[in-house]
Structure 1
Amino acid sequence: MADAAHPDLFSFLHIDLNSFFASVEQQLHPEYRGKPTAVVPTMADTTCCIAASYEAKALGIKTGTRVGDAKKICPEIILVNGDHAEYSRFSHAIAVAVEGVCPVAHTPSIDEMVCQLMGRERQPPAARQIALAIKQAIKDKVGETLRCSIGMAPNRYLAKIASDMQKPDGLIGLLPSQLPRALAHLELRDLPGVGARTEVRLKAKGVNTMTDLLALDRNGMHKLMDSVWGDRMYHWLRGHDTGDNGAPVPSELQKSLGHSHVLAPEHRSQEGAWAVAHKLLHKGAMRLRMEKFYTSSLSVTIKYALTREETARVSKTKQHTSGIRHAGWGMEARFRPCQDTLSLLEALQGCWKQRPQEDLHQKPFFVGVTMRNLIPEDEMQTRLFEEPGNRSQLSATMDKLNLKYGHTTLHFAGMLTAKEAAPTRIAFTQIPVQYGTDWM
């Protein structure tokens, strides 16, 4: 029985949209319904599925499955090129539907929402009715293929755990009187914040199961995690209100902004890689200005595919998630803080000229461009002399037109051959923002 300090009440609902991207595609295309469907970033066997429908998951195809392997498992699988704008629109429509039942307090990602319950809503029967009403609202107002699992708990951390305990279309509640024993059957990796590296570290310290973890007292958890995260987790797992309601530990000021892309086969050349890198910079520079940052550092990463013979000759190679063995190269340029596209393009060109030219570096298949050391616009000191050529004014004019007509309307010629390549990708942990006509 729950004690007086921790009565059996739910304070949070965590809504997790099941197979979200694939479900959106099946909503948009009725002919896909009931059939194995996977969303991919580009139509290439070497890339990976970024989402799979329930039918595909039943066959063993899941997020991260290589497209070539998915075809072997299910030759008739329907592959769909991901449409970031559609998923963003559906995410916002679902938020509106949920808001009609219960206010959305937090949006951790494009396919997750959190509602905070108040007063009598916290009573288990009332919370369950709200959860069921949310499910129905999503089905009625957004689409019948859109289903969600909802976790109910006394804090956000437990609500997230509960939402993962029954899929698809689940509804699980974790009450204080059931804790922590109701968690004993979980794996360590089922806990938010415990990834592969953390799991290895915990096991190295003798914590191999949830039972081992739950047996620790607060001091033991603090020592195990070597930080206040251990104290918080101790209380969260017992349903306590720590003041932050089980929310993830807030990050510091944003440190970087960038884009990366696995090249489509037609762009796996030096010229194609440059055009795509140019496109990534164009998008990143526009986001930099929209989010009101300056940057003083730009890094470029290129990964080159290797044949079996080349792999045997190279002592250090890595394997991409697509299965491609590769050699990598990267470089960082530092410069006076700026936010205009032309200055950033000059930095990119300087790095690009330094890329390796050996035989092992002739087949690029991945490019990444990242701006680091971000400085908020309001912290920048006014310069005595403006940059040459009115570069900021040029970027502002480009932004004005691109926001109105699409972000590739006005651009530098170097990205022309890749204008349609490297579309905006799915934001798993970043909430999409609409800039003009585009979601980024």
Structure 2
Amino acid sequence: MSFAPHPDRFQFLHIDLNSFFASVEQQLHPEYRGKPVAVVPTTADTTCCIAASYEAKAVGVRTGTQVGEAKKMCPGIILIEGSHTEYAKYSAAISEAVELVCPVSHHPSIDEMVCELMGREQEPPRARRIALDIKQSIYKNVGEALRCSIGMAPNRYLAKIASDMQKPDGLIGLLPSQLPRALEHLDLRDLPGVGARTEARLKAQGIQTMPQLLALDHKQMHHLWNSVWGDRIYHWLRGGDTGDDGAPVGSELQKSLGHSHVMAPEFRNDEGAWAIANKLLHKAAMRLRMEKFYAGSLSLTIRYQLTREQAERMRSKRHTSGIRQSGWGMEAKFRHCQDTLTLLEAMRGIWQQRPQGEECRRPFFVGVTLRNLIPENEYQEELFGDEGNRAQLSQTMDRLNLKYGHTTLHFGSMLPARESAPTRIAFTQIPVQYGVDYM
């Protein structure tokens, strides 16, 4: 099958918000503007930076830099515990500001938006004017500390690439007549979908550089990926449209949902971990009902911090935070349900079977996942009804928590962690507002 490239027009704009989380903090706190800022899940030295301002990036602090290292690299760095709610609000506000100029057709992530241009909007001068107006709309309607880079291209894949080519506050267009030579200066890792493992696989097949990749014909590109993905990339890099334009392939029915948390030092014991697990389950159960699913199993994951001697003896791996760790997990299956009390009982049964050895004294990470989901319309009611009115209890909790915040009414076992384990900062997941909270 052959795909003709578009004429010299831009069909898509990809808007990439620059250092989004850090920029939101600088917008909220004018005193932080022009200063190095890093957003972190907690202020513990062993955790990692979620995002860094451009002032911090200038001295080498990046997403994933350990907090302790960031302090050494930039002694004056300002560390801020991230706020999922604030970032979700700003993402929504920026989307509204973009909509004032051009409709948003797709949200790939919390800090990215895509606009599809129509008719004469696709003409390069008009597309550039729209992009500049989007920048101005964000500046005027949301905040002066918020900047974006915009890529213009004939398909979404190229628009995403273009948005990364000039940061911060960039505006780059890739026209079909410039392709593929305009991409020759890029690294293989600059291509969306090419991570470390894919890059290693390409290099093992003799593809070391972008010019080598671009020199391949259609058949060779298919063989290189050994899938239709090779065909798509071949056409995308030449300005073609394969019908999906880089959109993620639609997945089947959602199979799971859950939450996880790296605990603050004061919670790194059995009591703290149990309280955190309760809060994570409380949020997951509420989401389960809001998204109209029933769960058929629950998984609990715990990771434990090891001493150097324990780690060497067990040949353990390091967590992304740098902590030497061992891990344990277990899954419980049950009749499909969605009420919090039944799910809590299942988790308590798992908790009682957790390991008790010396290596399991310092839990630092807890994850709770609800699996084997089915939609509400496929659920078969129990023959003898809802014993104890558990569903009604959960519905009452939801009504109050939606109105006043999701920790307003909860079971006592999560009380010690009521203010801990906030909703994790979303990257690829678009935040959804339930009542007054984002999850």
Same fold, TM exceeding 0.5? yes
Report 1:30-69 matches (<5 A): 30-69=30-69
Deviations 1:186-227, CA, capped at 9 Å, x for gaps: 112111111222222222222222222222222222222222
Moved more, 236-245 or 413-422: 236-245
Match for residue 348 of structure 1? 347
Between the aligned partners of 2:42 and 2:209, the Cα distance in structure 1 is: 39
Deviations 1:141-176, CA, capped at 9 Å, x for gaps: 111000000000001111001101111000011111
Percent identity over the alignment? 76
- Measure how far apart 1:437 and its partner are: 0.7
Q: Which amino acid aligns with 2:305?
A: A
Match for residue 327 of structure 2? 328
Q: Which amino acid aligns with 2:363?
A: P
Maintained 8 Å contact 2:285/2:339: yes
SS at match of 1:395: helix
Match for residue 289 of structure 1? 289
SS at match of 2:105: strand
- Measure how far apart 1:4 and its partner are: 8.6
Match for residue 397 of structure 2? 398
Matched, 1:407 2:406: yes
Q: CA 1:197 to 1:255, structure 2 compared with 1: closer, same or farther past 3 Å?
A: farther
Maintained 8 Å contact 2:5/2:238: no
Q: Which amino acid aligns with 1:420?
A: E
Maintained 8 Å contact 2:5/2:239: no
Match for residue 110 of structure 2? 110
Q: Which amino acid aligns with 1:431?
A: I
Between the aligned partners of 2:83 and 2:188, the Cα distance in structure 1 is: 34
Deviations 1:329-350, CA, capped at 9 Å, x for gaps: 1111111111111111111111
Between the aligned partners of 1:212 and 1:87, the Cα distance in structure 2 is: 40
Deviations 1:56-107, CA, capped at 9 Å, x for gaps: 0001001111111111111211111111111111111111110000111111
TM-score, normalisation: structure 1: 0.97
Matched, 1:72 2:72: yes
Between the aligned partners of 2:214 and 2:286, the Cα distance in structure 1 is: 47
Matched, 1:19 2:12: no
Between the aligned partners of 2:230 and 2:382, the Cα distance in structure 1 is: 46
Moved more, 87-96 or 379-388: 379-388
Q: Which amino acid aligns with 1:94?
A: I
Deviations 1:16-54, CA, capped at 9 Å, x for gaps: 000001101111101101111111111211111101111
SS at match of 1:319: coil
Between the aligned partners of 2:165 and 2:383, the Cα distance in structure 1 is: 59
Moved more, 273-282 or 183-192: 183-192
- Measure how far apart 1:308 and its partner are: 1.1
Between the aligned partners of 1:294 and 1:226, the Cα distance in structure 2 is: 38
Moved more, 306-315 or 426-435: 306-315
- Measure how far apart 1:251 and its partner are: 2.2
Matched, 1:6 2:14: no
Moved more, 380-389 or 410-419: 380-389
**Structure 1: runs of 5+ lacking an equivalent:** none
Between the aligned partners of 1:386 and 1:254, the Cα distance in structure 2 is: 27
Q: CA 1:226 to 1:5, structure 2 compared with 1: closer, same or farther past 3 Å?
A: closer
Match for residue 215 of structure 2? 215
Between the aligned partners of 1:332 and 1:186, the Cα distance in structure 2 is: 44
Between the aligned partners of 1:222 and 1:138, the Cα distance in structure 2 is: 41
Match for residue 88 of structure 1? 88
Between the aligned partners of 1:118 and 1:21, the Cα distance in structure 2 is: 31
Q: Which amino acid aligns with 2:146?
A: L
Deviations 1:209-253, CA, capped at 9 Å, x for gaps: 222222222222222222222211111111111112222222222
TM-score, normalisation: structure 2: 0.97
Between the aligned partners of 1:239 and 1:5, the Cα distance in structure 2 is: 5
Q: Which amino acid aligns with 1:377?
A: E
Match for residue 416 of structure 1? 415
Aligned residues: 437
Please give the root-mean-square deviation of Cα atoms over the aligned residues, in Å: 1.4
Matched, 1:431 2:435: no
**Structure 2: runs of 5+ lacking an equivalent:** none
SS at match of 2:167: coil
Between the aligned partners of 1:384 and 1:83, the Cα distance in structure 2 is: 44
SS at match of 1:355: coil
Q: Which amino acid aligns with 2:345?
A: E
Q: Which amino acid aligns with 2:434?
A: Y
Between the aligned partners of 2:368 and 2:219, the Cα distance in structure 1 is: 43
